Amino acid sequence: MKSITTVRSTIVALALGGIAPVASAKTTPVGPPTVEVTSRDVAASNAKVKAAYDALINMWSADFKQIGEQFAAPRLARYRSPIRTSCGVMLPNNAGYCSADNTVYFDDIFVAAQAKSAARALGTDGDMAGLGVIAHEMGHAVAIQLGHESRLSYDNEATADCLAGAFAQHAQVDKSLEQGDVEEAVFGMSSAGDPTPQLTGNDRVDQRILARMERVGHGTREQRVQNFRNGLQGGAGACLAEFRGMRS
């Protein structure tokens, strides 16, 4: 199959950020080097994204109903070149949720590359590393629709990561989660973490570095993995108070 593009999977650092952090997403890239993505890879990835999207809408609609709310299902929009949205321009190699038009945008080549990088590293099909991106963006929609939007970027990212974990738990209960999926999701999140801050030992400088990470960051790898695990183990109730005590 002819390769349609080469995606630097190091750009993963931007993936799980949502729309808001895009402008400031010039974090130092981490993660494995390049993978080549064929049009067949992208087609297979898109089919899985569609199935995961349907499962996400079903899950969150049911969960919202249980707490007496109604989930407004976000649209799902693929793109490859820069696209204008109600939240500004979405650039390639990214994904994001825009609440102003209630849409999850994703670069489909980028998501396919996530899966392929995970597949290569773990020896599995890698799909959950890509789907985790969609589940995370859907997590932003869930949180925002319930009125949770912190001024601190890290809080929003932690909640979205946790809700992505809750989706993985749900998929596990449904028996639709395959062997290796959890490892893949954690792999995707790990590659997507902000670099661990290099502290200087100077208290004032370090305070500033840490405060900045809280404003613009998605969290370190360790934090992201932990946030995902919280949702995976505790379900949506571990992420947002509204879902606490809900039967799963």
| Positions in the binding site for Zn ion (CB under 5 A) | 16-18, 157, 160
Least distance CB 181 / Zn ion (angstroms): 20
Q: In the complex with Zn ion, which residue's Cβ is closer, 96 or 180?
A: 96
Q: Minimum Å distance from CB 123 to Zn ion? A: 28
Of the two residues 17 and 165, which places its CB atom closer to Zn ion in the complex?
17
Q: How far is the CB of 19 from Zn ion (least distance, A)?
A: 9
User: How many beta carbons lie within 10 A of that of residue 38, not counting itself?
Assistant: 15
By residue count, the chain amounts to: 248
Q: What CA–CA distance (Å, rounded) separates 23 from 62?
A: 34
80-92 burial, b at 16+ Cβ within 10 Å, e below that, comes to eeeeebebeebbb
For Zn ion, the closer of residues 18 and 231 by Cβ is 18
| Cβ-based nearer residue to Zn ion, 5 or 85 | 85
Q: Which is nearer to Zn ion, 119 or 141 (CB)?
A: 141
Pairing of strands 75-79, 34-38: unpaired
Distance in Å, CB of 36 to Zn ion, minimum: 27
Total Cβ atoms within 10 A of residue 215: 12
**Contact between 15 and 133 (Cβ < 8 Å):** yes
CB of 20 to Zn ion, least distance (A): 8
Please give the residue whose beta carbon sits closest to Zn ion in the complex. 18
Kindly report each contact of residues 84-92 with a partner whose C-beta sits within 8 Å and lies 24 or more positions away, as own/partner: 85/19, 87/19, 87/20, 88/19, 88/22, 88/23, 90/19, 90/22, 91/22
